[in-house]
Amino acid sequence: MPQLTMFLGTVLLCYLVLLNIIGFVIMGIDKKRAIRGAFRISEASLFLTAFLGGSLGCILGMHHFRHKTKHWYFKYGMPAIFILQVMCLVLFCGIFLW
């Protein structure tokens, strides 16, 4: 059982790191496209990335690229998703560590 727990933890960590990198990058890509007036990444796709685990990357990307920071649903929605994900992660870790 400890090996399975370690494996699941490693897989979860890799998944979250990858999704957060993707979240950060797509915020930058969307900002660049917005400046150029090119085809944009949909807000639904940005939120989907956040919901799937990339919320911290999206938040960091928002602030780094100064993108979507004036939209209330991004300004408050992304941190709310992040808080919810942290709570789920704590619950998940608590279940597997007991």
Q: Specify the number of domains making up the chain.
A: 1
Q: Is the model's pTM score more than 0.85?
A: yes
Amino acid at 39: F
User: What is the domain extent for residue 18?
Assistant: 2-97
Per-residue pLDDT of the chain in tens (98 residues, 90 and over written 9): 678 878 888 998 999 999 999 999 999 999 999 999 999 999 999 999 999 999 999 999 999 999 999 999 999 999 999 999 999 888 877 766 65
One-character DSSP codes across the chain: -HHHHHHHHHHHHHHHHHHHHHHHHHHHHHHHHHHHT-PPPPHHHHHHHIIIIIHHHHHHHHHHHT-STT-HHHHTHHHHHHHHHHHHHHHHHHHHH-
Amino acid at 8: L
